[in-house]
Structure 1
Amino acid sequence: MTAITALTAQNSRGVFGVLQIEPSFVEQQMSVVLEDLGADVIKTGMLHDAAIVQAVARRIRSAEPRPKLVVDPVMVAKGGATLLKDAARDALVNELFPFADVVTPNAPEAAALTSIPVESVADLTKAGARILAMGARAAYMKGGHLPGDEVVDVIVRNDGPEIVLRGPRIETRSTHGTGCTLASALAASLAQGMDLEAAARRAREYVAKAIEGAPGLGSGHGPLDHGWPLKEARSG
């Protein structure tokens, strides 16, 4: 189930407008779903401003039992549009990170959140440790923005050793929503009872195949092929 935080006017070339939903209505959306269906995992995405962050955090804090929380700190769109206001950044760290089971920043987001320049895998790991110090239980640090033929992600956690995930870089323009998709697949896998490492590996594989099968729509950053598992099931 989804609670809408904002409506966007966008295409493959960028985000051209954002219409924010009233924070009280965001909280109401969450409440009616949680009271009826409950949730094993909540995943946050574009929260846009501090008032929405606070509304989401307030509802998560009051949930009984408290679901696991995956925080995708969506800050900048592929086309460069700002999706998180400056004041919301502090609210995200202060209000949501202490409840987060996993935070999933890419390299630019990690740098913005921690004030650590992220230009290497070692920097990713260092920034991940800083995010743990902010209260998160684990940080899935995405390395797709770093240079190289190989994409290296690092999971830093407070209850075990680092996990390093490697894979070949796929050269394509069809990368719209890769971070959102990874966080959603991670949350879905955690909700199905997987541990963090298994959930992360499954989410990463899902995204890689979704990129490989992308239909090539649009003249900018096109969408992924989210339906590839159904195609595999039908062909198998």
Structure 2
Amino acid sequence: MNYINVLTIAGSDSGGGAGIQADLKTFSALGCYGTTVITAVTAQNTLGVRTVHAIPTEIIKDQLQAVLDDIQLAAIKIGMINRAEVVAVIETELKAYGTETPIVLDPVMVATSGHRLIEPDTVTQLIKKLFPLVSLVTPNIDEAIILAEQPISNLDDMIAAGRKIIGKGAKAVLVKGGHLSGAVIYDVFIAGNEAPVILESVFIASKNLHGTGCTLSSAIAAEMAKGCNLLLAIKNAKNYISKALWAGAEVKTGQGNGPLNHFFDPLKLIIQ
């Protein structure tokens, strides 16, 4: 018996709601074994980000090589990358790894609190060096505005932005519409030249939304690791997110925006 191994390359969240911590919780909840490469350490809580400490690139490289040299991965999720030199390291190591492993890129740029988490020149490098390598890019509205270089205020704008992101080299994109107001949330999935797929979900009234984007991209990676095709992985991941949001809506973790309830359906222990 082998574990289903998934790697997350992302920043650490001391509050435990997003980043590496959310990724590992998601992998575990969905039956996968999580490995990590930490790109940055943040001091944050439910109220916001206080400081960001960048991990030296040589340490990031060594973490990557340590995992890739030893553990066979079924999927990879890439999250917070705040420097162009880190993009270059990841590109080099993933190319050297040379497999068909599914890769989900969550282009984390701005925290829920509004704190910018990425240097401007890094966006250009993300597009140039990582878009061609990954299976899916998962921007939220704010990130899609930056990547597509256009305003987004409705579903048609989301579709147009998604096509522009495809035009910049992404194989597939999921533009997440959770930041737009309305009783129904629309996400737009576009793969290559195919027609857009509009995915609907019910708006869930909750202030506990911290880490939603990290969790969704990790859930997609986990579902792909288990053998789902891309669209089914997205649908399964969205279902997981909805249940985690419902289960965490009334939970008070801190004084601000709390996390989802990743373990709303824990594995049952058999006590003999």
Q: Same fold, TM exceeding 0.5? A: yes
Task: Spell out, residue by residue over 1:11-36, the C-alpha distance to the aligned partner (whole angstroms, 9 max, x if none).
Answer: 00100000100112111111111110
Question: What residue in structure 1 maps to residue 170 of structure 2?
Answer: 136
Question: What residue in structure 1 maps to residue 45 of structure 2?
Answer: 11
Residue 195 of structure 2: SS of its match in structure 1? coil
User: What is the rounded CA distance, in whole Å, between the counterparts of 2:173 and 2:64 in structure 1?
Assistant: 24
Question: What residue in structure 2 maps to residue 209 of structure 1?
Answer: 243
Superposition deviation, residue 160 in structure 1: 3.6
Question: What residue in structure 2 maps to residue 183 of structure 1?
Answer: 217
Identity between Structure 1 and Structure 2 (%): 36
Question: What residue in structure 1 maps to residue 29 of structure 2?
Answer: none
User: What is the rounded CA distance, in whole Å, between the counterparts of 1:39 and 1:130 in structure 2?
Assistant: 31
TM-score, normalisation: structure 1: 0.95
Residues 60, 66 of structure 1: 8 Å contact kept: no
Which residues of 2 match residues 75-86 of structure 1 at below 5 A?
Answer: 75-86=109-120
User: What is the rounded CA distance, in whole Å, between the counterparts of 1:13 and 1:36 in structure 2?
Assistant: 38
Question: What residue in structure 2 maps to residue 226 of structure 1?
Answer: 262
Moved more, 129-138 or 4-13: 129-138
Question: What residue in structure 1 maps to residue 20 of structure 2?
Answer: none
1:158 aligns with 2:192: yes
User: What is the rounded CA distance, in whole Å, between the counterparts of 2:228 and 2:100 in structure 1?
Assistant: 18
Question: What residue in structure 1 maps to residue 12 of structure 2?
Answer: none
Which residues of 2 match residues 1-236 of structure 1 at below 5 A?
Answer: 1-158=35-192, 160-214=194-248, 215-230=251-266
Superposition deviation, residue 216 in structure 1: 2.5
User: What is the rounded CA distance, in whole Å, between the counterparts of 1:99 and 1:65 in structure 2?
Assistant: 10
Amino acid at match of 1:99: L
Superposition deviation, residue 64 in structure 1: 2.6
Superposition deviation, residue 66 in structure 1: 4.0
TM-score, normalisation: structure 2: 0.83
Answer 1 or 2: higher relative contact order, Cα 8 Å, separation at least 6. 2
Amino acid at match of 1:209: K
Kindly report the root-mean-square deviation, in angstroms, between the aligned alpha carbons of the 2 structures.
Answer: 1.3
Moved more, 171-180 or 127-136: 127-136
Superposition deviation, residue 159 in structure 1: 5.9
Equivalences, count: 233
User: What is the rounded CA distance, in whole Å, between the counterparts of 1:66 and 1:157 in structure 2?
Assistant: 17
| Larger helix fraction of residues | 1
Residue 266 of structure 2: SS of its match in structure 1? helix
User: What is the rounded CA distance, in whole Å, between the counterparts of 1:61 and 1:120 in structure 2?
Assistant: 37
